[in-house]
Structure 1
């Protein structure tokens, strides 16, 4: 069970890092010096 939890934590961390590296804007705590501004077309997006 612990090994499965570790695998899931590693997979989640990998996906978070991968998506953060693909981000083309800065928003909230996701700030990147390559894209210091946020994209206005996503202002009203709710998940």
Structure 2
């Protein structure tokens, strides 16, 4: 499994947990800001106004 572990500017080594081999993906603080915090449109293109 591959995924972001939730902390910017931090690198973790791949590890095993139970039957899963996990590979953390590193993101910079800028990448987190641009992707997660500064979305110019709501998810799925939905409008926030009615």
TM-score, normalised via structure 2 length: 0.29
Task: Point out the structure with the larger helix share.
Answer: 1
**Higher strand residue share:** 2
Q: Select the structure with the greater relative contact order (CA < 8 A; seq sep ≥ 6).
A: 2
